[in-house]
Structure 1
Amino acid sequence: SYEIARVIDMLKLVHLNDGERILQSYPFQLSGGMQQRLAIALSLILKPSIVLADEPTSALDMLVQASVLDLLKEVTQALGATVVIVTHNIKAAGHIANSIGVMHKGQLVEVGATEDIMNHPKDEYTRVLLDSVMKVV
């Protein structure tokens, strides 16, 4: 079990400054963004070297998505951790990733530096993903 002070320090690291109140709250009393930041803090409390984030921005609005991704990148860099993000949102991946791997029907169809994948996709499926995101924006 962890000391409350250590947990509150980790909450501060993810910009949740009212840690004691948050620890006394039920999930429905916290916003979606606060819940994601709390999940990030909990996943990092043991200082892992690798963090697997499965759809970390699902069910969040665009502004909150960007802030959660920025926070995930900031905190994991501060802790020296590598983040692997699983997402259907290639734009979110492009926002945070150094490199991207695109899978289609269980096969890895393209891997490369984020800038290369986002600006010069080689695989047709990657182009479809990027086109669909660009049409929505």
Structure 2
Amino acid sequence: RAHGESYDVSRVIDMLNLVHLTDGERILQSYPFQLSGGMQQRLAIALSLILKPGIVFADEPTSALDMLVQASVLDLMKEVTQALGATVIIVTHNIKAAARIANSIGVMNKGQLVEVGSTEEVMAHPKDEYTRILLDSVMKVV
């Protein structure tokens, strides 16, 4: 049960399929250590979206994943949230990862918002020195 709603296994399986986890029955019977990091992340995405929220906050959604899995998780987040019509707010230190799926980017430095703009504008023409430092410091996401 969540938020007063009892869960329907078929609805959970449908959501797992939406995040490309096709063996839903087995996954629901698995312990976390029996799933790969990428599977765990996709499962977390599915569970966070099961109630179809309008806004999803993702705090460092790719921090413990390798570069290839990071890219697939970001692409999946974009695909699934668009399909559900949800807005995603990603908190990350990796500006290039955010740029992979963001329409707009806000850059904070020491708790202050130092730059906001469309993804294309911020990535191509950063106005703030801290944004330029961020862009220079991160590895390219595949």
CA shift, 1:109, in A, is 0.2
How many percent identity over aligned positions? 86
CA shift, 1:72, in A, is 0.3
Partner residue of 2:59? 54
**Equivalent position to 2:111, from 106, 120, 127:** 106
Partner residue of 2:122? 117
- 1:48 aligns to what SS in structure 2? coil
What is the TM-score normalised by the length of structure 2? Answer: 0.93
Structure 2: 5+ residue stretches without partners: 1-5
Residues 83-98 of structure 1: pairs in structure 2 closer than 5 A:
83-98=88-103
Structure 1: 5+ residue stretches without partners: none
Deviation string 1:19-40 (CA, Å, 9 cap, x unpaired) is 0000000000000000000000
CA shift, 1:75, in A, is 0.3
The root-mean-square deviation of aligned C-alpha atoms, in Å, is 0.7
Partner residue of 1:132? 137
Count of matched residue positions in the alignment of Structure 1 and Structure 2: 135
Deviation string 1:1-57 (CA, Å, 9 cap, x unpaired) is 211111101100000000000000000000000000000000000000000000000
Deviation string 1:54-102 (CA, Å, 9 cap, x unpaired) is 0000110011000000000000000000000000000101101000000
What is the TM-score normalised by the length of structure 1? Answer: 0.97
2:35 counterpart of 1:41: no
Runs of 4+, deviation exceeding 6 Å? none
